[in-house]
Amino acid sequence: MVNIFLLLGVLNLTIVLSCDYHSETGYSSKPFPWNKMRLPKHVVPIHYDLLIHPNLTTLTFTGFAKIEITVLQQTSSIILHSKYLYISKATIQGEMGGIHAEQRVMVSEYPSFDQIALLTDEPLQVGNKYYIVIEYSANLSDSFHGFYKSTYRTPEGEVRVLALTQFEPTAARMAFPCFDEPAFKARFSVKIRREPKHHAVSNMPLVKSVNIMKWLIEDEFETSVKMSTYLVAFMVSDFKSVTKMTTRGIKVSVYTVPYKIKQADYALDSAVKLLDFYEGYFRIPYPLPKQDLAAIPDFQSGAMENWGLTTYRESALIYDPEESLASSRLMITMIIAHELAHQWFGNLVTMEWWNDLWLNEGFAKFMEYVSVNITHPDLGVKDYFLDKFFNAMEVDALNSSHPITHAVEDPAQILEMFDDVSYNKGSCILNMLRDYLGSKVFEAGIVKYLQRFSYQNTQSEDLWNSLSEICSDESQAEDGACARSQETISAAHWTKSALLDIKTMMNTWTLQKGFPLVTVTVKDKNIHLQQEHYMKGSQISPPTGYLWHIPLTYITSKSDIVQRVLLKTKTESLVLPEEVEWIKFNVGMNGYYIVHYGDDGWDALIHLLKANHNAISSNDRASLIHSVFQLVSAEKLCITKALDLTLYLSHESEVTPVSQGLSELVPIYKLLEKRDMSDKADQLKGYLVNLFTNIIDKQSWTDEGSMSERKLRSTLLLFACVNKYQPCVIKATEYFMKWKDSDGTLHLPNDIKLAVYAVGAQTDEGWDFLFSKYNLPKFSTEKGEIEVVLSLSHNKEKLQWIMDEALQGDSIKTQDLPHIVAAVGRNSDGYQLAWKFLKEKWPKLVQKFELGSHSIANMITGVTNKYSTKAQLDEVKDFFSSLDKKSSELRSVEQALETIEDNIKWMDKNLGKIQKWLQINSKPRSCANHYS
C-alpha cells in the first residue's frame, strides 16, 4: 500500500489525463448488472482509506481509495457511485477460493445513474470481509460541487487557487468512488498531498505530515467517526486561522483568506459560545476533537455542515464591526448556529434517505432560534421567526408544493428538496410541536431521539416515537417535565392520550402538502370552528379532503390568558364564558395555519388595530396582516378589507408588522410595473410612502438602538429612498456626495449605507464609483449590499453588464449571479433583460449551478414571480416546454407557471378595486410632495 501511495505522489497529472495514458483497468461490455437508481444493499462499506493529491496548477487530481466492505448477500458484482472519475486500476482483496488474494476486476459503467459495477470472476461470500482498491484521476470541478477549485485575489492583485469539497447531497462520487447514499455510513481515513506553500484540513485533526519529496508533503488525518459520505470534507489552501477552545476543550478554528483573518473574530467567538450551548442542550458531548469553520471565496449555498469542517460563504462568516450592517451580525450568528446544530441533527443522527431531509434541515433551522435566543439575547432573534412561517406558506400555498416527507430518487429531485418546505415549514411545525408539548417535554424527547439513534439513520416516525415515549413513562423525563405539562394540558383542553398520539398528529403535517385555513364564526358566546385546506381562489382542483390535527390557541378582548384546543375534526364548537368584542386565534403565530374571522370578525380586529394596536403582540399584528392578504388570494375576503387593515400601520413602530406590511403591499406595485402601468404603480407607491411617513421621519441616521430598531431603520430608509421620498433622497444624496468626495474614506453609519448607496447608484457616475470600491479589501464585507444597489440602476446597459460580469466570474463572483439576476428581475427597467439572460444562458447556468438546485429555482421564480399577463405566461411556458424533460418538469418551473396564473387572476379581480380604494384613501399631496 505504501508503494502505491508513493507511486501516486510522483505521478504527473498531465500525463494521467492525456490520451496516451495506459490504463490497467478492464472495462466490461456486458449489460450493466443493476437497473435501479438506489444502490443494492448486498454490500456495505465499513471503512474508507483515501489518498487525494490535487494539483492546483493543472487543476487535476489523482486518488487512491481502499474501501473495506462486508457482504450481506452473495454477489458477483459490487455497485457503487462514480462520476467523472477516470479509473486506471481496480482490484478486490479478500478470501477467494479459500485463500487471501487480490483479484483484478472488470469495471462496467452506467453514467446515467453515476454508477459503476466491479465484476468479479467468482461470487463474494456472505460474512466475508473484502477490500475494494481503486486508483483514479479527474479534473477539479469547475462548478460548486464535488472536489472543486476556488480562487481569490490578494490586495496586490495576485490570483491564488485553492481546492475544496462540497458533497451534499450527491457529489462525493465526484471525488472518490463510494457508496454515496446517507444510510451507507462508514469511517474515513484521509491523506492529502500538497505543496509546502499550502496546508490541508479535513474532518479530523492532523496526525502527522511527511515530506515525500522536497516539493511534496503528505498530511495524514485521524480516522473519522462513522458518518455519511456527503459529510466528508477536505480543503487545500493557503488560508490563515484563528483559534479558541470551548469550555470542554474542543478546538475551534476559523479559516479565511490571509488578508481577511482579522474579520474572523466574531464568528470564532460565536462558534465557541454556540458549541458550548449545544453540548448542554443536547446532553451529548460534541464527538470530535475540533471544529473548523472555513470562509470560502466561491460557494454556492450559504454554508455546509461537514462534520468537523463546516464551510461558509465569506459573507456568512466574516464580520467587520466597523463596516458590516447590523443585520449581517444576526445572519452570521444564525448561519453558524444552523451548521453547528447539524453536528447533532444530520451528522450524529442522519435521515435514512433524502425524502426525510427535513429531519436535518428543519431541525437545524429551528435550532437557530432556540440557540441564538439564549446565547445572543441582544440580537432579538425571536422577532424574525415569523419570516419562516410566511416564506414557507408562500410556497406551500401552491398546488405544486409537496409534503415535507416526499419521495425522491434522482439527484435533481433530491436537490429540489432543499427548499422552503424542508427548511422553513419543517422548522415551523417543530416550533408548533414544542408549543404544544411544552419546551421541557420537547427537549427531553429530542435528547432521547439523539441518544437512541447516534451514528444511525432515521425516519420521521423515529422522532415521533421518541417524543411520545417521554410522556408515556413520566419517570423517564427529567425535571418532572411531563408531570408539569400534564397540569398545563389538563387545564388547556388536551389530554394525555392526545399527547401520546404525536405520530398521528404530526403525520397530518408531514405527509400532506399545504396548510389548514381555520374559519372562526362567533355568535354570542358560541364559537364555531371549521378547517379546510387553504387553496388560492384561482386553483380549480377539487378539495383535497385533507384534515389536520391543529393545536389551536386563542385570546379574547376579555382575557389575555392563552386558551388551547386540539382541532382534529372538520368542525368543532366552543362556548366562551362570556361574550367578547374580538377574538384572536393562533397566538404569537406559533401554529402553522391561518385564520379567517368572517367579515364581522375582521371588522372587530381592524377596529382594535386602529384604536389600540398594542393590545395584541407585534407577532399577532404581523400574522393578521399576513392572513388578511392570504384570504384575498383565496377569494374569502375583498381586497378593500385588507387595505383597510393596513391603514393602522401609520401608527405602527415595530419591525415585524412593518416588514410584513411592506411584504404584502410592495409586490402589488411590482405587479403593476411589470404590466408597464407605471402611473398606477406610482399612485400606490405614493400611498405607501404616506402610510409610513410618520415612522420614516422618526428614524435617526445613526447606528443607535437595539437590533430590531436598527433593522427597522435600515429597511425604512431604503424603502423611502428607493421610492423617492424627497426628505430621504435629499439627505442620502448629501451623505453620498460627502462619502464620494472623501474617495470612500468617510465612515457612514452602517444602518444607512443601503439607502445612501441606493440613491448614489441612480446616476451613472455614482454607479461607477460604487463599483470601483466593490473589490477593495476595505469593502469586502459590503459586497452584497453594493450588488443590491447596483441592480437598482435605471441604465439597462449597466444592468446587462453586471449579469454578464457575474457569469464570467472575474470581477464579480459567479456564486452571486443568482441573486443579481433575481435583483435585476425585480427592477422595472431590468426585468425583461433578466428574463432574456435566463433564457440565453440556460445551458451555462445549469452546468454551473446544477439542475434542481436552489440557485436555479431562485432565478426562475425571482425573474417571473411578478408576471401577470397572458403574454408573459405564454412566453415562460414556451421557453420551458422547449427544454429537455428534466428541465421542463422542475418543480420551480411548475411554481413559476402557477404563480403567474394566480397573478393574472388576482389582478383581474382586484386591480379596479385597488384603484377605487386609493382614490378614496390616498392623500392628494402624496405624488406632488414626495416624488420627483
Q: Could you list the active site residues?
A: 339
Element (H, E) at 627: helix 618-633
129-168 exposure pattern, b = at least 16 Cβ within 10 A, e = fewer: ebbbbbbbbbbbbebbbbbbbbebbeeeeeebbbbbbbbb
Category of 778 on φ-ψ map: left (φ > 0), alpha (ψ -120 to 50) or beta: alpha
C-alpha to C-alpha distance for 914 and 88, rounded to whole angstroms = 68
Strand order in the sheet with 26-27: 26-27, 106-110, 115-124, 75-81
Question: Would you call 838 helix, strand, or coil by DSSP?
Answer: helix
C-alpha to C-alpha distance for 560 and 557, rounded to whole angstroms = 7
For residue 462, give Cα distances in angstroms to 140, 185, 469, 911, 918.
39, 18, 11, 49, 54
For residue 547, give Cα distances in angstroms to 298, 424, 509, 530, 754.
45, 21, 9, 10, 45
What one-letter code names the amino acid at 731? K
Nearest Cα residue to 336 out of 249, 265, 261? 265
End-to-end CA distance of the chain: 76
For residue 83, give Cα distances in angstroms to 57, 113, 231, 318, 607.
22, 9, 17, 33, 63
Q: Would you say 592 and 509 are in contact if contact means Cβ atoms under 8 Å apart?
A: yes
What is the β-pairing status of strands 60-71 and 129-139? antiparallel
Q: Partners of 90 in the beta sheet?
A: 134
Q: Would you say 448 and 470 are in contact if contact means Cβ atoms under 8 Å apart?
A: yes
What one-letter code names the amino acid at 658? V
C-alpha to C-alpha distance for 827 and 843, rounded to whole angstroms = 24
C-alpha to C-alpha distance for 326 and 311, rounded to whole angstroms = 22
Nearest Cα residue to 94 out of 82, 83, 103, 86? 103
Q: Would you say 184 and 45 are in contact if contact means Cβ atoms under 8 Å apart?
A: yes
What pLDDT, on the 0 to 100 scale, is given for residue 482?
Answer: 52
What one-letter code names the amino acid at 549? H
What is the β-pairing status of strands 234-237 and 216-221? unpaired
Beta strands in 158-276, from DSSP E residues, in sequence order: 159-166, 187-194, 199-202, 206-213, 216-221, 234-237, 240-245, 251-256
Residue 202: exposed, middle, or buried by beta-carbon count in 10 A (0-12, 13-18, 19+)? Answer: buried
Q: Would you say 521 and 528 are in contact if contact means Cβ atoms under 8 Å apart?
A: yes
C-alpha to C-alpha distance for 348 and 342, rounded to whole angstroms = 8
Residues contacting residue 909 through CB under 8 Å, at least 6 positions apart: 537, 635, 639
Q: Would you say 176 and 135 are in contact if contact means Cβ atoms under 8 Å apart?
A: no
Residue 34, C-alpha cell as written in the block: 443493476
What one-letter code names the amino acid at 16? V
Strand order in the sheet with 526-533: 571-575, 526-533, 516-523, 594-596
C-alpha to C-alpha distance for 291 and 393, rounded to whole angstroms = 35
pLDDT along the chain (932 residues), means of 10: 35 32 61 96 97 98 98 96 98 81 92 96 91 98 97 96 98 98 98 98 98 96 98 98 98 98 98 98 98 98 97 97 93 98 98 98 97 96 91 96 96 96 98 95 96 98 93 48 43 50 95 97 96 80 84 97 96 96 97 96 98 97 98 96 97 96 97 93 95 96 95 97 97 98 96 97 97 94 96 97 96 97 96 98 96 96 96 97 94 96 96 95 50 32
What number of other Cβ atoms are within 10 A of residue 77's Cβ?
Answer: 22
DSSP state of 865: T
Torsions phi, psi for 274 (to 5 deg): -70, -40
216-237 exposure pattern, b = at least 16 Cβ within 10 A, e = fewer: ebbbbbbebbebbbbbbbbbbb
Residue 928, C-alpha cell as written in the block: 406632488
Q: Partners of 201 in the beta sheet?
A: 235
Q: Would you say 65 and 176 are in contact if contact means Cβ atoms under 8 Å apart?
A: yes
Nearest Cα residue to 356 out of 408, 319, 320, 434? 408
C-alpha to C-alpha distance for 653 and 715, rounded to whole angstroms = 13
C-alpha to C-alpha distance for 702 and 398, rounded to whole angstroms = 41
Q: Tell me which residue has cell 459590503.
A: 782
Q: Tell me which residue has cell 393574472.
A: 904
Q: Would you say 44 and 184 are in contact if contact means Cβ atoms under 8 Å apart?
A: yes
Residue 123, C-alpha cell as written in the block: 461470487
What pLDDT, on the 0 to 100 scale, is given for residue 474?
Answer: 47
DSSP class per residue in 539-594: --SPP------EEEEEEETTEEEEEEEEE-SSEEEEE-SS--S-EEESGGG-SS-E
Residue 751, C-alpha cell as written in the block: 444602518
What pLDDT, on the 0 to 100 scale, is given for residue 4?
Answer: 34
What pLDDT, on the 0 to 100 scale, is given for residue 16?
Answer: 32
What pLDDT, on the 0 to 100 scale, is given for residue 271?
Answer: 98
C-alpha to C-alpha distance for 340 and 270, rounded to whole angstroms = 11
Q: Tell me which residue has cell 383565496.
A: 634
What pLDDT, on the 0 to 100 scale, is given for residue 26?
Answer: 66
Q: Would you say 337 and 267 are in contact if contact means Cβ atoms under 8 Å apart?
A: no
Q: How many CA atoms lie within 13 A of 865 on its CB side?
A: 18
Compute the Cα dihedral for 490, 492, 493, 495 and give only its sign. negative
Residue 325, C-alpha cell as written in the block: 450592517
What number of other Cβ atoms are within 10 A of residue 410's Cβ?
Answer: 16
Say how many residues make up the chain. 932
Nearest Cα residue to 53 out of 44, 38, 63, 39? 63
Strand order in the sheet with 129-139: 99-104, 86-96, 129-139, 60-71, 43-55, 187-194, 216-221, 206-213
